[in-house]
A and B are shown apart, each in its own frame.
Chain A
Amino acid sequence: MLRRTLNRWLGRDERRVDSRNICVGHRSSSNNEAFIPPKFCDNRIVSSKYTVWNFLPKNLFEQFRRIANFYFLIIFLVQVIVDTPTSPVTSGLPLFFVITVTAIKQGYEDWLRHKADNEVNKYPVTVLEQGRRVRKESEKIKVGDVLEVDEDETFPCDLILLQSSRDDDTCFVTTASLDGESNHKTHYTVPDTEKDLESLNATIECEQPQPDLYKFVGRMHIYKADQEPAVRSLGPENLLLKGSTLKNTQTICGVAIYTGMETKMALNYQGKSQKRSAVEKSINAFLLVYLCILVSKALVCTTLKYVWQNKPGQDEPWYNEKTQREKDTNLYLKMFTDFLSFMVLFNFIIPVSMYVTVEMQKFLGSFFITWDKDFFDPEIKEGALVNTSDLNEELGQVEYVFTDKTGTLTQNNMEFIECCIDGFQYKYQDAGTDLDGFCVTDGPANKVQHKAGREKEELFLRALCLCHTVQVKESPEQGQGQRDGLMDHVDGLGVDGEGLHPPPQEQRGFIASSPDEVALVKGAMRYGFTFLGFESKTMKILTRDNDVERYELLHVLNFDPVRRRMSVIVRSKSGDTLLFCKGADSSIFPRVRQEEVERIRMNVERNATEGYRTLCVAYKYLNAEEYAQADAGLREARLALQDREEKLMAVYNQVETGMSLIGATAVEDRLQEEAAETMEALQGAGMKVWVLTGDKMETAKSTCYACRLFQRNTELLELTVRTLEDGGRRREERLHELLVEYHKKAVQDAPPVKAGVTRAWSSANHDYGFIIDGATLSMVLNSSSESNSSRYKNLFLQICQNCTSVLCCRMAPLQKAQIVKMVKNSKGSPITLSIGDGANDVSMILEAHVGIGIKGKEGRQAVRNSDYAIPKLKHLKKLLLAHGHLYYVRIAHLVQYFFYKNLCFILPQFLYQFFCGYSQQPLYDAAYLTMYNICFTSMPILAYSLLEQHICMEVLLDNATLYRGIAKNGMLRWGPFFYWTLLGVFHGLLFFFGVRYLFGNPALQDNGQVFGNWSYGTIVFTVLVFTVTLKLALDTRHWTWINHFVIWGSLAFYVFFSFFWGGIIWPFLKQQRLYFVFANMLSSVSAWLVIILLILLSLLPEILLVVFRKPRGPHAGQMKPVHSSAGGHQSPRSSARPLLMRTFSDESNTVI
């Protein structure tokens, strides 16, 4: 920690210079004579927090920073300093226990970190020093060292790739341990560096370390004797990150530029912000109430004590004189210490053990999620993953679900369905009769017979083959190529033996970061154009006529989500320079000649409504002059150190103009398994589902229909660029108009909304769906005038809250987070959940209360940043409806029960003060005080909170409506809290006064002997332990053998302990208070009778309540359908179901 802050400190100093200069191989260049090698940090990774000597103070300090621990420490110190009724042991022991356990756990974790650090730091690496290979420990690497890394080795620090053993100057890495993406990524050597690294004389100028894994700008100056220094731009494609692994490449050499804690990997592992659950907030509120109770109790007692003492003869009767010290103490000081003593006496009302139990419950409880075999996906062979156990109960409280579309609702398993070339529709048919595998199907445009010209066709297919960043996976040994863990991104595509295609040379697999590209390349392959791979900047394709064509790849204009397109510039053998561009229709159409657009647009729109992902393909010939200009522009922009992105973007936009449209593709993205059922269940559970996608509206809308988020009778309110432009007026005005109109429709005309639970039902009378796109959203959120902005936002929110589902399309990742944040902070601060699978969902996953990652195809970033990760969308249903519901019920009960049991534990002690002259005499023995929360009553509630299923899982899954019962923190609101508090007070009063009346005559034994104060306390305590445990037993609806064991076991343990504790004269005790008290108590029939009576009387209201509630249980169960059919919702829905099914089964031919 210290080291890190120090580093950061130093880092800040360095940052004043916004770039760092590095001499490759520490050879100072001739040009910079006065070059002083700057100090960089070494390559030691320090993730451990403690060292042996600072562990104790530092760990203790950190632990006592927690408010609860600090409170107990204060209580303990008060007990040590002031003469208090209970010995410091009573609060010291539990505190010591908690602190020790935490310290051991943290110490162990830190030891593991030390071990891991050591392993990394001592890992041997090869450094090239003056032409010699030197083996060094990883931690000795200095910035500027030239390292050699072999295949399958991990890079020890961030390197600039200088040399690769591959002849095309590339190398492959996987970043599986960095962001989880297990595909091979290509990295390039710095162009035109000398092969002989020894004579390389260069400096690297690069930015200061920053955590973004995908951004890097730098410049390399190469000094050659008697030549102008050459400058090469460095980008993320030249940077090998620490933590990634070299693949498919024998060996590489690179120069270290960021080391140790400055590597991007280390910078990325700085803790995520802590999310706190609503339950925790409730606990804190309850704690405050109990703190008030505690303080007021102490105040009341202190006041009464001094009032009472004022009566003559009471303060200091002859039989009970004060000590000299007491007499000397100042009155006010005495009052204060009395107050403190009362605080100490009653402090058990706020139990230290609750924190421990809650933590244990969360920690252990989260295992049930990882253990659940229903979450196990046989495809990826993984189950659910729990990244944080703090939010288990939040899963039962979700009100808004924000879901990504691609990869979440849909499988992200792309399949090329059809294409449209020059306005003609081509659909591939498996058993194609057509000789060339092409088949023209019925297009709606009645152009059945016509085909686009062969030339156009081939141009289109060439474009598909060239315009991508796909790698061909090399599989040196036939058939064994798939042995390693690359399977999920490699689609082994055996060219099927139809004989129509060129004979398969080998198993061909493609690797790409986006599955769309693979689908397109494979689609082109089906039409006879096979991409054979790169050969040092040359792309080879196999045409339909079995010719191998070579194209020189000049530039790749990378895809980015803002432009929503990518391009390549290639030079064909004939010397033509061509630009192929593919991208979303909205980004392509404005950049092509308009006359071509109409023919294609129709197809694109039709495909989009069918739920396909469409891409448009365009091309343009570049003449030499144009190319030279573009080339220069690109090179310049790539070399820029500042604002490289912006400059590149400008050049890209400039180049990608005036293209001509060739065609469009349609790629199908199948719905996830049970996506519709899951969504329906979520909506049934009262959650609002919002789809946030970057995809275009039509595609997203059809997905929504397919997922039954929109129903046939759903009225769609659309707020998109299209509707805004309809009016033909200014967008702002139109926006305002539409918002007001929709607001009127959805909010004002809707039936008056009752409390949250019924809302969805009542508004379900008329379902509204709301659609908004990114551009309009940014208009709503960032309206020109301030006043409008907040008003629009309000209107927008209100509309959304009254719609059953909302679809936000064309969203940028940040906008997704913006929406989540807006809903999160809206009135009533609803609990939000985000679910997504890709890097673009990370922001919303982090923003929402609960972030769920899907272990999908778009890498592992979402999973890494999520709180929970599940393999499939369908698992969400069980995670929320079953696990979430149960966790919430369990922990809510746990919290309430804890407060209850401590209230009725301490209340008799408080009441006893009225009978002992407010002298802070404890009612119970110190052993009982200490053990009550630790041993006697802790295990049953822990077992309950881990195992309880008040409703069994199947029922929870079948009846999604049950989820509504606990919505809005239903079990931890003030109502239930007061009920439990009241119950605690009732029990406390009963225990105390029941025994008090029994002690009206303390001669309770049949030999006439009398009981004293410790017998009194023991009887109360026995009643207490039994009642509190049996109360829990009454609440337990799911009795496993563990519950039986723990409940009856802890009662038996109490009895056993009491015998044991009272059976021996303990030499270490000053007073043998309980000597044979328990045994004597049991020998008294009256004591038995009063214990039984009080236990029964305490539980009577509970039983009554169960009985009175029970008639309502079946009643509600039977009446619900009746009620809802009267409400006119369920029946139309269910009667509409077959109709809907039919319509969708028609549609599903195309959609699913």
Chain B
Amino acid sequence: MMASSYNAKEEDANHPGAANHAGAGVVKSKKPDNTAFKQQRLPAWQPILTAGTVLPAFFVIGLIFIPIGIGLYVTSNNIKEFEIDYTGANIDNPCYNCAKNFSWNSTAQCVCAVTFTLEQPFESNVFMYYGLSNFYQNHRRYVKSRDDSQLNGDRSALTNPSKECEPYRRSEGSPIAPCGAIANSLFNDTLQLYHIDSNGTLNEIPLVKKGIAWWTDKHVKFRNPGGNNNLTVAFQGTSKPVNWKKPVFELDPEDPENNGFINEDFIVWMRTAALPTFRKLYRIIQKKPSTTPTLPSGKYVLNVTYNYPVLSFDGRKRMILSTISWMGGKNPFLGIAYITVGSICFFLGVVLLIIHHKYDNRNNSADIPN
């Protein structure tokens, strides 16, 4: 402040002539402009929220929200969902043995069969999820433990993964591909679903493994180094993640479009979940062309190749079968919330209307003696 005023004074002092002779000119420019902005008189819309304008809004909100809520609720209720826990924490669970005897080193695969019954038939496409509980995929150390440029097919990142991947960055001297904790802990249970028809035979239900990952992830964000031809060569010099049983280029040897980094199971896993209890899309059971339901009611067997230990951190594993509507999976929350908010709005509208009415009367009567 001091300096600037000092300045002004100095300048005045240096042009004494100007101050005198051009006095009129200087003075003229001092008159403030009469513009709407400078005079704070910009034309303005001055909305006043009165009971009169707000009341209809409340009713409208109520009238819109309640039907939406009902629609959502009905939609959610129409979605069929079946969930089964196959962790094997309890002794009566068929997978108890597999869970108990799990060891990282064993090469033998432990398979357990879980039988369940669908009370109702599942129409149209059925989505098969696996769910994990108490699995902190959103732990900071976990979330950051990945190298997106490696996953995008960057060759230098392939041989020299990011430091964020520690301690899953190198194993036995060679870089891990894909590196990091997320990739290392890829969910590797294999789930197979069989329908037991009336005469007791098991019919395997075809599970589609395409279309379970975001399109952009599959086609842009994730890329194999050096294209999709000959992944074995492309991944030469890297080692598999320590907890994996097979290297990344053998994730799906049959389909080159689903192998390596662009394996959809892998991509789905790499999208870290928001909460410690989560589900991830595993397979899709395509709707049959005929009119028969995709999954008719009846008995089913879920064959689990038990590779994924969760009991050590008190986790749970689930298999979920669900149909999908336009709003996604089954979730009554939205419907209930909409109905509640709509009702509150409506109710408030009524209350306000009464108050407003009463108050208006009183106000009028108060005005009269005035």
Contacts and interface: CB of A to CB of B under 8 A. Distances in A.
Contacts of A269: 2, 5-6, 9
B148 A1072 contact: yes
Contact of B44 (A176, A317, A1040, A1079): A1040
Contacts of B316: none
A154 B20 CA distance: 13
Contact of A1003 (B185, B217, B328): B328
Contacts of A387: 1, 5
Interface of A: 45, 47-49, 85, 109-110, 112-113, 116-117, 119-120, 123, 152-154, 176-178, 243, 245, 265, 269-272, 312-314, 317-324, 367-368, 370-373, 375-376, 381-383, 387-388, 484-485, 864, 915-917, 919-922, 947, 949, 952-953, 994, 996-1017, 1034, 1037-1043, 1065, 1069-1072, 1075-1076, 1079-1080, 1084-1086, 1089-1090, 1093, 1096-1097, 1100, 1103-1104, 1106-1107, 1110-1111, 1114-1115, 1118-1119, 1122
A1075 B221 contact: yes
A920 B327 CA distance: 32
Interface string B1-25: 1111111011111101101100100
A1089 B140 contact: no
Interface string B170-206: 0000000000010011000000000000000000000
B144 A119 contact: no
Interface string B61-84: 100010010001000000000000
Given A49-B3, A1103-B54, 11 more contacts: A120-B10, A317-B312, A321-B168, A373-B33, A485-B19, A915-B274, A1008-B281, A1013-B143, A1034-B49, A1071-B148, A1106-B54
Nearest to A155: B13
Contacts of A48: 3
Contacts of B1: 271-272, 387-388
B142 A320 contact: yes
A921 B139 contact: yes
A112 B243 CA distance: 67
Contacts of A1085: 326-328
B167 to A, nearest CB: 5
Nearest to B169: A323
Interface of B: 1-7, 9-14, 16-17, 19-20, 23, 27-28, 30-34, 38-40, 42-51, 54-55, 57, 61, 65, 68, 72, 125, 127, 129, 135-149, 152, 162, 164, 166-168, 181, 184-185, 211-214, 216-217, 220-221, 243, 268, 271-276, 278-281, 284, 309, 312-314, 322, 324-331, 333-334, 337-338, 341, 344-345, 348, 352, 355-356, 359, 363, 366-367, 370
Nearest to A1039: B45
B135 A319 contact: yes
Scoring B147, B284, B363 by chain A CB atoms within 10 A of each residue's CB, the highest score goes to B363
A1140 to B, nearest CB: 26
A962 to B, nearest CB: 16
A485 B38 contact: no
A1015 B274 contact: yes
B329 A1004 contact: yes
Contacts of A1107: 49-51, 54-55, 352
Nearest to B125: A1008
B124 to A, nearest CB: 11
B50 A1110 contact: yes
Contacts of B27: 381-382
Contacts of B366: 1118-1119, 1122
B127 A1003 contact: yes
Contacts of A1014: 272
A953 B40 CA distance: 9
Contacts of A372: 32, 38-40
B333 to A, nearest CB: 4
Contacts of A922: 140
Contacts, number: 338
A1111 B146 CA distance: 58
A1042 B49 contact: no
B181 A1093 contact: no
A388 B4 CA distance: 11
A1010 B268 contact: yes
Given A376-B31, A1093-B341, A368 B2 contact: no
A265 B2 CA distance: 12
A994 B338 CA distance: 12
A1012 B7 contact: no
A1075 B223 CA distance: 14
Contact of B216 (A153, A265, A1076): A1076
Given A245-B13, A269-B2, A319-B142, A1089 B327 contact: yes
A916 B136 contact: yes
A361 to B, nearest CB: 14
Contacts of A119: 10-11, 14
B32 A373 contact: yes
A317 B313 contact: yes
Given A1001-B330, A1001-B331, A373 B148 contact: no
A915 B216 CA distance: 28
B353 to A, nearest CB: 11
A916 B144 CA distance: 13
B316 to A, nearest CB: 13
Contacts of A1013: 137-138, 143, 272-274
Contacts of B148: 1069-1072
B345 A1100 contact: yes
Contacts of B144: 1071
Contacts of B338: 1089, 1093
A1000 B331 contact: yes
Nearest to B369: A1122
A971 to B, nearest CB: 19
A1001 B273 CA distance: 11
Nearest to B139: A919
Given A154-B13, A1003-B279, A1104-B348, A1012 B274 contact: yes
A322 B43 contact: no
A322 B16 contact: no
Nearest to A1036: B47
A1138 to B, nearest CB: 22
25 contacts: A112-B4, A113-B3, A320-B139, A320-B181, A321-B167, A383-B30, A919-B138, A921-B140, A1000-B331, A1001-B329, A1002-B279, A1006-B326, A1008-B125, A1039-B45, A1040-B44, A1041-B42, A1072-B152, A1079-B216, A1085-B326, A1089-B338, A1093-B337, A1107-B51, A1110-B49, A1111-B51, A1111-B356
A881 to B, nearest CB: 14
A116 B30 contact: no
A682 to B, nearest CB: 22
Contact of A370 (B32, B136, B278, B356): B32
Contacts of A116: 6-7, 10-11
Given A916-B138, A1007-B324, A1065-B152, A1037 B32 contact: no
B49 A1093 contact: no
Contacts of A1119: 366
A1086 B327 contact: yes
